[in-house]
Amino acid sequence: MRLSSTPAIKPIMQSYLHQQIMSVLSQLGGTPPDFDLEFQQPANPDHGDLACNVAMQLARHFKKSPRQIAEDIKNGLESLPLDPTKISSVEIAGPGFLNFRIASTYLFDALQDIIDQGETFGRTGLGKGKRALVEFVSANPTGPLTVGHGRNAVLGDTIARLLDWTGYDVEREYYFNDAGRQMRVLGESVKARYLAELDPELGTKWIGDEGERIEVPLPFPEDGYLGDYIADIARELIASGEQIDVEDTDRFKRAAEEKIFAEIEATLSRMAIKMDSYFNERSLYDSGQIWKIIDLFREKDLAYDKDGAVWLKTTAFGKEADTVLVKSTGEPTYRLPDIGYHIEKLERGYDRVVDVFGADHIATFPDVVEGVRALGYDADRIEVVIYQFVTLVRSGQPVKMSTRKATYVTLDELMDEVGEDVTRFFFLMRSPNTHLEFDLDLAKEASDTNPVFYLQYAHARIQSILRKATETGLPERGEVSLAMLVHEAEIALIKTLLGLPEQIARAAELNEPHRLANFLREVAVAFTQFYGNCRIIGEDDSLARSRMELAKATALVLRNGLTVLGISAPDRM
């Protein structure tokens, strides 16, 4: 039997051992000034539950061999002595590692603790009293959300959930701009379709590059939006019977914005995503904040006029060239409102300001962060999560998508095809900074080859066992003795379960939800090994009940973990 690794033990044992080892080291003659102990969890179970490399690190300091130092520390620890209800053994191995094994009584207490904590197991208080803002999606309402937005949405929402579970007071915000060029073109696109609907004799023209030529009504803008939803909006306007002044392009824009925003919210809602606030870029103009920022840059000699435009000295931030803040037309480039927006967020007092951006922003956000910093704000509070692009794969071939032809796959279509849970999980299961290959065939497969089903199945199976146990007459109440859980699969499972809080905390700290997804797979694997080796129904009542407690704790860990990922934990499949 191959047992899964034990990612859990470290925080439990570490603080205790840290104290004990430092105490021994001071008896042995002390440590260098800025020295601190390092612990790690061995990949190999033969190396115990926790290892310390202190002997190797201090070989030079003590002018002794690492193994000799390890021997001295071990002797020192044993004469303290170590608490046998916490640590069951200390061994020296390899070049001088100290390998510690956790006492099983400690594990049983910890297991009881999981059960007692129930739905709150996994929560930690690292962010207690702190506030975080996660800004994500932030697509201008020019069309339906696409697969690419989906990765953004799921990452942002899950990061918010992770922060919530680590004690932060979290808000989700959507930033958009309804006053820019994109939205103007959107209004003109709708207007052109509207006119064409009213007047079938209205001429058409061809736009686009060679190979991608598309027929559109004559008034259609060259870079207009081509999706069918534009004509739908136009037809709805006609059907509404409203008298519209066709010169009032803004009316078409507003109609489009309203309709599209409602659809975006509905799409997000399918994935259990709800924004707390929407921030309109326009408010930065209305408040005049934007122009104050330029003055501040000028005062610091970081902005100047040239060729009728206002330039930001990005060369002062290490860039090759300066960049334009305000065009000669008087219209700011995106940098200026972006800087303003981030200052606004920092002034709202958040301890962490997380942005979720696609890879196309990778080179531009540093201008914004450095600009904010240059104005005296604590830009270290800004954390930018960059994710790489998504490729859909069907039958081993990439699905061709073209924004130009509006032949992209929408997020709704993706969810229609593979389901909401699978959509969320697939967007989360890879590190944000790796290019994501979304295999549609795998996503639709209802077997253990699909990682989502594998996790959900483990949960459903536990619930099934618990139902069955009740049906077969196992008394609800009775003696439970967790100390009966001595099989190596049982011990390994307990150790794995204990890792949930640390895994969530680490994923939150690094803004990397995939860590939790990977951890849950380990839990499911460890449970499956337990399931294969240890029966519940049919055993003596007290052993059966003890194992049921372990199974319940496993279900809790799976459900809590899946909840953080925004994925359901079904009782039956």
Partner RNA sequence: GCCCUCGUAGCUCAGGGGAUAGAGCACCGGUUUCCUAAACCGGGUGUCGCAAGUUCGAAUCUUGCCGUGGGCACCA
Which of 42/122 has CB closer to RNA? 42
Contact (CB, 8 A) for 167 and 128? yes
Displacement of CA 78 from its chain's centroid (Å):
43
The torsion angles phi and psi of 111, rounded to 5 degrees, stand at -65, -45
Q: Pick the piece of the chain touching RNA (CB under 7 A) from 153-161, 196-204, 368-376, 536-544.
A: 536-544
Please state the closest distance from residue 499 (CB atom) to RNA, in A: 8
Q: Which is nearer to RNA, 196 or 558 (CB)?
A: 558
The one among 126, 244, 296, 362 contacting RNA by CB under 7 A: 362
Q: Which position among 6, 21, 24, 57 is part of the footprint of RNA (CB under 7 A)?
A: 57
460 near RNA, rule: CB under 7 A: yes
Nearer to RNA among residue 174 and residue 194 (C-beta): 174
Gap between the Cα atoms of 106 and 542, Å rounded: 20
Does 42 interact with RNA (rule: CB under 7 A)? yes
One-letter identity of residue 221 = P
* Residue 117 vs 388, nearer CB to RNA: 388
* Whole-number Å distance between alpha carbons of 276 and 140: 17
Span of 114-122, 260-268, 329-337, 477-485 interacting with RNA by CB under 7 A: 329-337
Tell which one of 448, 479, 488, 540 touches RNA (CB under 7 A).
Answer: 448
252 binds RNA (CB under 7 A): no
User: Residues 203, 228, 245, 363: which binds RNA (CB under 7 A)?
Assistant: 363
Instruction: Using the structure block, give the residue that is written with the tokens 């696409």.
Output: 146
Q: Show the binding pattern over residues 148-187: x = contacts RNA (CB under 7 A), - = does not.
A: -----------------------------x--xxx-----
Q: How far is CA 347 from CA 133, 249, 341, 542, in A?
A: 12, 36, 10, 58
Nearest CA-CA partner of 127 in 157, 154, 159: 159
At position 144, the amino acid (one-letter code) is P
Closest to RNA by CB, 300 vs 306, is 306
Residues 146, 267, 528, 560: which binds RNA (CB under 7 A)?
Answer: 528
Looking only at residues 115 through 144 of this chain, which bind RNA when binding is defined by CB under 7 A? 140
Beta bridge partners of 102: 87
User: Rounded distance, CA 374 to CA 318, Å?
Assistant: 13
Report the length, in residues, of the chain: 573
Choose between 196 and 559: whose C-beta lies nearer to RNA: 559
- Our finding on whether 360 is near RNA (CB under 7 A) is yes
Tokens of 44: 């190999």
Count the residues of the shown chain that bind RNA, applying the rule CB under 7 A. 96
Residue range at the interface with RNA (CB under 7 A); choices 269-277, 289-297, 406-414, 446-454 = 446-454
Distance from C-alpha of 363 to C-alpha of 166, rounded to nearest angstrom: 30
Query: CA-CA distance, 454 to 465, in Å (whole number)?
Result: 17
Q: Which residues ranging from 63 to 102 are in contact with RNA (CB under 7 A)?
A: 66, 93-95, 97, 99
Alpha helices per DSSP H over 240-275: 249-270
Window of 45-53, 149-157, 370-378, 400-408 that interacts with RNA by CB under 7 A: 45-53
Interaction of residue 537 with RNA, rule CB under 7 A: yes
Question: How far, in Å, CA of 71 to CA of 69, rounded?
Answer: 5
Mask for 467-496, x = binds RNA (CB under 7 A): -xx---------------------------
Asked whether 260 and 229 are in contact (CB, 8 A), the reply is yes
Q: Which stretch binds RNA (CB under 7 A): 159-167, 238-246, 292-300, 440-448?
A: 440-448
N-terminal to C-terminal alpha carbon distance within the chain: 27
Rg (CA), the chain: 30
Q: Is the peptide bond before 81 cis (omega within 30 degrees of 0)?
A: yes
Given 124, 388, 563, 568, the residue binding RNA (CB under 7 A):
388
Q: Which of 23, 44, 89, 407 binds RNA (CB under 7 A)?
A: 44
2 binds RNA (CB under 7 A): yes
Q: Is 395 helix (H, G, I), strand (E, B) or coil?
A: coil
How near is the Cβ of 138 to RNA at its closest, in Å?
A: 9
Contact yes or no for 558/459 (Cβ under 8 A): yes
Closest CB to RNA among residues 88, 431: 431
Cβ-based nearer residue to RNA, 376 or 538? 538
Continuous H helices in 167-321: 181-198, 228-239, 249-270, 282-286, 289-299
Locus of tokens 């039997």: 1
Site for RNA in 420-439 (CB under 7 A): 430-431, 433-437
CB 377 within 8 Å of CB 346: yes
Backbone angles phi, psi at 513, to 5 degrees: -60, -25
The token duo for 234 is 């136009």
Longest dimension (CA), the chain: 98
Rounded least distance, CB 251 to RNA, Å: 22
Residue number with CB closer to RNA (231 or 508): 508
Q: 4 or 196: whose CB is closer to RNA?
A: 4
15 binds RNA (CB under 7 A): no
Report the alpha-carbon distance of residue 172 to residue 111 in Å, rounded. 34
Q: Which stretch binds RNA (CB under 7 A): 245-253, 305-313, 414-422, 476-484?
A: 305-313
Tell me which of 19, 60, 218, 402 binds RNA, using CB under 7 A.
60
CB of 47 to RNA, least distance (A): 4
Least spacing, CB of residue 369 vs RNA, in Å: 13
The amino acid occupying position 100 is F
Q: Which of 307, 397, 477, 486 binds RNA (CB under 7 A)?
A: 307
The sign one gets for the Cα dihedral 376, 349, 164, 388 is negative
The residue among 231 and 325 lying less far from RNA, judged by its C-beta, is: 325
Interface residue with RNA among 173, 178, 512, 549 (CB under 7 A) is: 512
Give min distance, CB of 284 to RNA, in A. Answer: 12
Contact with RNA (CB under 7 A) among 195, 207, 309, 399: 309
Least distance to RNA, CB of residue 58, Å: 9
Q: How far apart are CA 147 and CA 131, in angstroms?
A: 30
For residue 50, report the phi and psi dihedrals to the nearest 5 degrees: -150, 140
